Chain A
């Protein structure tokens, strides 16, 4: 059975702190790993990672994938209260009837205090 496990499950920090969110996975026919940010509504896309060792960056957020060790991290530097959200990691498979399906981790709840 496919598994996507995120840690920590929740994190409370102060503005300006740097956080690292973890996502490990065990899936057959891995294609890509995606990070999403979910506030009160549906998730918004952050990154899609398909190759090991290549960092993706967007402002204060960055992410990297290690396909050998089967994990990814999402870093947020100089956190702001607006970063408070649930961060979801999802893995997409390839091939057969599983093509395109996303398996989500349980999410990390990040709370940033002023």
Chain B
């Protein structure tokens, strides 16, 4: 299957700082990547759809100014959590595939802890 990497795998930061998470497709080109958030003992919730070369599409209730998404190339999408607060602590996972209609492969996830 396709390989998707995420960096960093774990980050601890102080409240008010910004954190950038990278999602890379290593052996394929992803025109579309998806960003999910997962709180403990809950399922994955889609945050936004990241399209290469255009603006991301955010799900209802997700603040686009707080969660900045950039999909600058066919192999890289970034999620920046701006002015992070403790309630943003969560597991952030990206996924990508050859196309949005194809099987989506998940990155290993980034665990964010905001103190």
Contacts and interface: CB of A to CB of B under 8 A. Distances in A.
A is bound by B: yes
Contacts of A88: 43-44
Contact of A45 (B42, B46, B103): B103
Contact of B34 (A34, A45, A100): A100
Contact of A44 (B46, B99, B106): B106
A30 to B, nearest CB: 12
B109 A34 contact: no
B34 A43 contact: no
A14 to B, nearest CB: 24
Contacts of B57: 97
B74 to A, nearest CB: 15
B42 to A, nearest CB: 7
Contact of B105 (A45, A94, A99, A105): A45
Contacts of A94: 101
A80 B105 CA distance: 25
A107 to B, nearest CB: 5
A101 B46 contact: yes
A100 B43 contact: no
B108 interface: yes
A10 to B, nearest CB: 10
A49 B93 CA distance: 23
Contact of B44 (A31, A43, A48, A99): A43
Interface in A81-114: 88, 90, 92, 94, 97, 99-107
Contacts of B109: 41-42
Nearest to B94: A42
Interface of A: 31, 34, 36, 41-45, 48, 88, 90, 92, 94, 97, 99-107
- Nearest 7 interchain pairs by C-beta: A100-B100, A42-B106, A42-B109, A104-B43, A104-B44, A106-B43, A42-B93
